[in-house]
Amino acid sequence: MPWCPKCKNEYYEGIKVCADCGCELVDSLEEWEKAEREAREAAEREQIAALREMMREEGEENADTAETEGSADAAEEEERAEETGRASGKETRGVYRNYEEKAADNKSSAYTLLVVGLAGLVVIILCFCDVIKLPFSESSRFMILGVMGAMFLFFVVMGVVSMKNAGKYAKKAESEKELTKELEKWFVEYVTKDKIDEGLFAEEEADFSDEQKYFKRFDRMKELLSERFLNLDEGYVDRFLDKHYQDIFGENK
């Protein structure tokens, strides 16, 4: 059965594109995630290799002083490349809204729509009954009240839909809370600073900036989590790991 790599929704055979986000479906989420991870690691290796070659060539052409300056420039170039290559991923981290937040938003919208819609319908009924007089002709009055009534009725319908969505999200929020508790329990016991940094940085990467270390550590944390828990929403994982990164390293990204 095909899957959406972004929404993690399963579809019937024959469907090629996700109806929610428009992404092309894949046959296996595990294989897709593995391919994405391998492609990302290969791109990082190529980038680092290219930067090392550039640093070596600069060292051969320049004197010792110029070589030192060139290394600093190369480090800055590498940092810019890291930021450019992963900017979209960094921007999305922390944006994820959990089901509890969605439930609260939908509930608030439902109350607003229902209050406005029902109040408007009451006013429309009073106008039809001539309790509230309108300075319009009979034909104009019925046309205006009909349009306004349809609009307020739409508000009521949307309020009911939002209320149903709030209930649906509230149920999912309970499951999400249980999942988060399970993740946190496993994460605290298994994922430590030493576990994350073990073999992560090569000797020449020891002087990486906090920004560069953040990205490499974050990817390692995501790999460790993915090995234990499959098919998690990427936005949920990014938000979860971003919080725990601060708890473990206490650094500003």
Query: Could you report the per-residue pLDDT of 87-145, keeping only the tens digit for each?
Result: 444 444 446 778 888 899 999 999 999 999 999 899 888 888 878 877 777 778 788 88
Confidence of residue 251 (pLDDT cuts 50, 70, 90): low
Question: Which range, of 29-43, 83-97, 238-252, averages the lowest pLDDT?
Answer: 83-97
What pLDDT is recorded for position 116? 92
* Contact indicator for 211, 75 with CB cutoff of 8 Å: no
Confidence of residue 216 (pLDDT cuts 50, 70, 90): confident
What whole-number distance in Å separates Cα of residue 198 and Cα of residue 192? 10
Q: Does the pLDDT of residue 186 top 90, yes or no? A: no
What pLDDT is recorded for position 253? 44
What pLDDT is recorded for position 67? 46
Q: What is the pLDDT of residues 46-79, one digit of tens each?
A: 766 665 666 566 555 554 544 444 444 555 555 5
Q: Quote the mean pLDDT of the chain.
A: 75
What pLDDT is recorded for position 178? 87
